[in-house]
Amino acid sequence: MDKVKGDSITESLFITLKGTALSKRQKQSRVIEYGKKLGIKGVRVSCHPLRHTFAKLCVLNGANTFQLMSILGHTTLK
């Protein structure tokens, strides 16, 4: 393996078997499907809450706010 998928901010982390990026709808469908398979109930299972959880855990573990902002693609602190 010469390259790891997702090693650049411009590359997709989630890809199809053909190596192409998953669409927003494909990612959302998979997250919902996996949530159901895992029996997760009582919370909203979708991409945005997972993104929020990632950001929150980063902050709680001392991540640099401006680096996190860049990773998440934000241009302002909101």
Q: What is the pLDDT of residues 30-74, one digit of tens each?
A: 999 999 999 999 988 999 998 999 999 999 999 999 999 988 888
Of 57, 59, 55, 60, the C-alpha closest to 71 is: 55
Does 37 share its domain with 73? Answer: no
The helix, strand and coil proportions of the chain, stated in percent and rounded to the nearest 5, come to 45, 5, 55
Does 50 share its domain with 64? Answer: yes
- pTM for the structure as a whole: 0.65
Region class of 39: left (phi > 0), else alpha (psi between -120 and 50), else beta? left
d(CA 54, CA 4): 21
**Domain, as residue range, for 26:** 1-42
Does 31 share its domain with 65? Answer: no
Number of domains the chain contains: 2
Does 62 share its domain with 75? Answer: yes
DSSP 8-state class, residue 7:
-
Does 12 share its domain with 35? Answer: yes
